[in-house]
């Protein structure tokens, strides 16, 4: 019962499923790779990759891996506090806060990660390689680099001046 309740708080989306082969002594062994993003729509999101002989098993493994690697994202009224860049391998992602009513302006796996994170208004641009796993990881790196106002002011040893209300 408690496990079902813990699972229900997260939404999951499959970014892509690929058929992969492993060459072994007896020939080729077929399998599937699933890239899954898990989020609670309240600022926690994770990415997982699962590989198995069946699609459903690969997705299940991907969900488990994503839940193990959740990251916390500071949300301010449905957007991010400041501009940020994220990079992973040859993929680069630029994230910018957007005014209320803009919606999620992003494509591919960036959009999936941002929606499951709980973003309502944000602009994103993907640069470089379009590999869906690397783009999703670059997005997570960008989200992980975000800082709250109180964090920055304490690091600098200054008094915070609040211009916005966090929700």
* 52 contact partners, CB below 8 Å, separation of at least 6: 31, 32, 58, 60, 61
Q: pLDDT band for position 95 (50/70/90)?
A: very high
Domain 73-156 is of which CATH architecture?
A: 2-Layer Sandwich (3.30)
State residue 115's pLDDT score.
94
State residue 2's pLDDT score.
46
- Paired with 49 in beta bridges are 35
CATH 3.30.230.10 domain range(s) in the chain: 73-156
CATH of 2-71, one of 3.40.50.180, 3.40.50.300, 3.30.160.20, 2.40.50.180: 3.30.160.20
For residue 68, what are its two tokens?
């193990």
Q: What is the pTM of this model?
A: 0.86
CA atoms of 86 and 126, how far apart (whole Å): 10
Strands of the sheet containing 11-24, edge to edge, are 11-24, 27-39, 44-52, 71-72
pLDDT in tens, 48-94: 999 999 999 999 999 999 999 999 999 888 899 999 999 999 999 99
CA atoms of 136 and 36, how far apart (whole Å): 10
State residue 156's pLDDT score.
84
Phi, psi of 42 (to 5 degrees): -130, 15
CA atoms of 150 and 146, how far apart (whole Å): 12
State residue 153's pLDDT score.
79
CATH 3.30.160.20 domain range(s) in the chain: 2-71
């Amino acid at each position: 019962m408690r496990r079902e309740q813990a699972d229900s708080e997260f939404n999951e989306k499959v970014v892509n499923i690929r058929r992969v082969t492993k060459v072994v002594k007896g020939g080729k062994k077929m399998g599937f790779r699933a890239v899954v993003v898990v989020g609670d729509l309240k600022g926690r999101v994770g990415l997982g990759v699962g590989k198995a002989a069946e699609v459903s098993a690969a997705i299940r493994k991907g969900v488990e891996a994503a839940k193990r690697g959740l990251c916390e994202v500071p949300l301010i009224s449905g957007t991010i506090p400041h501009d940020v860049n994220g990079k992973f391998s040859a993929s680069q992602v630029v994230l910018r806060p957007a005014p209320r009513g803009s919606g999620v302006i992003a494509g591919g796996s960036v959009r999936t990660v941002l929606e499951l994170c709980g973003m309502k208004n944000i602009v994103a641009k993907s640069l470089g390689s379009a590999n869906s796993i690397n783009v999703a990881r670059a997005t997570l790196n960008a989200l992980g680099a975000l800082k709250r106002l109180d964090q920055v002011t304490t690091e600098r040893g200054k008094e915070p001046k609040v211009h916005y209300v966090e929700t």
